[in-house]
Structure 1
Amino acid sequence: MDTEKKSDRYNKLDLWETKEILDAILESQLSAVSSIKKIIPDIEVAVTKSVPLLENGGRLIFAGAGTSGRIAAQECAELYPTFSWPKNKSIFLIAGGQKSLTEAIEHAEDVLAQGELEAKKIKLTSKDVVICLAASGRTPYTLGVLREANLSGALTIGISSSANSPLLNEAHIKLFPNTGSEVIAGSTRMKAGTTQKIILNMLTTSIMIRLNRTYDSFMIDLVATNDKLIKRAAFIVSEISKVNLESAKDALKKCHGNVKLACVFLKYQDLKKAENILKEFSGNLRKCLDN
């Protein structure tokens, strides 16, 4: 497997000076990041095919084991607070269940049937987008999820750093960042893990932009659940609507913290009209403000 090979570049690593080790790790991480550039066309296809499915009620499903599962879970968790993406539309499946988020569960990833079973439980449909991550591309649990997703007609996206692996061979969209050998042979939490996180960031952020959940480079669908985010919401409304912070806060209060609605309300000064316009343009704030 590509991710398991030992590189001569790191021979006698344990005898190196600490600075040499740090330089080598950084160098490896940068090379991993650069490998993503070559697959941007494939990521673009994934975004383009995902958007209409999600617009029509589909869900984003993430699946993985070990490090890949934890990276998937992290991405899944961020979608609601950042974009107000409904919690029931974003699901992660991880080998070994919730306990695996904080500790390794022995052999949890080795049972293909368990992946199939857990995928069946969430009743996948042809509207869903299923993103499966496995650095080796051979993790049985993740392959079980992938195969069940394919049977359901869902759009499947495979992310693996191993060429010609079962995961890439069977996924509808194949994302292969060619990260090569790790500094520590087989420790795919490093280069392979970095690329998985970046690719997921690219995928989900681009999808949410296309689903009208941003305006300019502002997160207009954020959920203001703490003081920092409440201040950020007011700042965003102030910047977009060109009003002072106090006016932005007042508008947010009238609009129950909804940034989009507050911006439209400030333009029309009529809450009911703002609600109707936002609905008419399917939450596309730019169209609402340009109307």
Structure 2
Amino acid sequence: MIADPAPALSGAMLASYRRAIACVAAVEGDIRAAATRLAVRWERGGRCIYLGAGAAGLVAAEDAAELPGTFGLDRRRIAIILAGRDGASFDLDAAAEDDAQAAEQAVAALGDLGSDAVIAVSASGSTPFTLAGAKAARRAGAFVIAIANRPNAPLLTEADIGLLLDTGDEALQGSTRLAAGVAQKCALGMLSTLVGLALGHIHAGLMVNLRADNDKLQRRALGIVMSISGVAENTAQAALAAAGGEVKQAVLLSSGARDCGDAVSRLARSRGRLAEALDTLRKELGRSAADEPRRPPRKRGEKR
């Protein structure tokens, strides 16, 4: 009978995961600074380009893939450069990690990077593909954010902002999808979420620029409008229908905006910041934000 080795390994893994989170906490200020600069580039029309290989590349690609749905970001302005990726498949060619020339070619294919931001992720910080891509991107004028898990990693010196996540040895030696991957995912999640906040796509902890592409997200959008506006379900549904599913517009409509044109104009003047648009609207209507505290959404069928 095989002895159960789980307690020793699972305990070591949990300890390494705790270190991983502590490493992210240590660079929180740098993550905030990177998010601010990335948001400026995006708001000026630049692209966000994720660059990586192997497990680190997959973590980066996952974060990139979530941005259109979570924050309504234009997927045409999000690029993923992933070593060994064959079309839409994630069956990666491991040898491609060593192909520096392929990375340079992929970066060159994106054209002018002067307005763009690149997020390069590598556990070792010395993966040839990722390192060459970051160097090429910076030469082309991109703002480069680097994430690595080893001190003195070359990738960190090639970046405008380098985030060292010194997670140490893995519980399973060499498997950087574990502690290193946890730290990378945490840092990337913070970075992209803070960018969403800076762009005005988060209001009161809610995703007010989400893309409601399925039934779950449509229900979420409905709940968001009800929660912020404090209106009944039928009112929120009507506002969302009139706004074509755009949550920010629907919130303004259900809060007193004259029509969709008025809501769009208010959002344009506030650069998409719902809080500012709402505050202005409420003042014009003789109300203040304090007069209309956030209320939980009413249950289906509940009357006002």
Secondary structure in structure 2 of the residue aligned to 1:81: helix
Secondary structure in structure 2 of the residue aligned to 1:58: coil
Q: Contact 2:86–2:92 (CA<8 Å) still a contact in 1?
A: no
Structure 1 CA distance, aligned partners of 2:261 and 2:138? 44
Q: Contact 1:124–1:149 (CA<8 Å) still a contact in 2?
A: no
Aligned to 2:299: none
Matched, 1:33 2:4: no
RMSD: 1.6
Structure 1 CA distance, aligned partners of 2:103 and 2:160? 18
Structure 1 CA distance, aligned partners of 2:97 and 2:19? 28
Q: Which moved more, 1:276-285 or 1:147-156?
A: 276-285
Deviation at 1:15, TM superposition (A): 7.6
Q: Which residues in structure 2 correspond to 1:15-94 (within 5 Å)? A: 17-94=5-82
Q: Which residues in structure 2 correspond to 1:76-155 (within 5 Å)? A: 76-98=64-86, 102-155=90-143
Structure 1 CA distance, aligned partners of 2:259 and 2:32? 39
Match of 1:289 among 271, 275, 278: 278
Match of 2:262 among 273, 280, 283: 273
Secondary structure in structure 2 of the residue aligned to 1:107: helix
Aligned in 2, Cα 1:101/1:186: closer, same or farther, shift over 3 Å? Answer: farther
Greater helix proportion: 1
Q: Contact 2:54–2:94 (CA<8 Å) still a contact in 1?
A: no
Structure 2 CA distance, aligned partners of 1:94 and 1:48? 25
Q: Which amino acid aligns with 2:259?
A: D
Q: Which moved more, 1:24-33 or 1:196-205?
A: 24-33
Deviation at 1:100, TM superposition (A): 8.5
Q: Which amino acid aligns with 1:119?
A: V
Structure 2 CA distance, aligned partners of 1:129 and 1:261? 29
Which of the pair has the greater relative contact order for Cα pairs under 8 Å at 6+ separation?
1
For residues 7-61 of structure 1, the C-alpha deviation after alignment (integer angstroms, 9 at most, x for no partner) is: xxxxxxx987322221221111111111111111211221122221111111111
Runs of 5+ in structure 2 lacking a partner?
281-304
For residues 207-236 of structure 1, the C-alpha deviation after alignment (integer angstroms, 9 at most, x for no partner) is: 110001111111011111111111110100
- TM-score, with length taken from structure 1: 0.92
Aligned to 1:4: none
Match of 2:231 among 243, 260, 274: 243
- TM-score, with length taken from structure 2: 0.88
Aligned in 2, Cα 1:224/1:100: closer, same or farther, shift over 3 Å? Answer: closer
Aligned to 1:256: 244
Aligned in 2, Cα 1:116/1:138: closer, same or farther, shift over 3 Å? Answer: same
Structure 2 CA distance, aligned partners of 1:93 and 1:180? 26
Q: Which amino acid aligns with 2:77?
A: K
Aligned to 1:162: 150
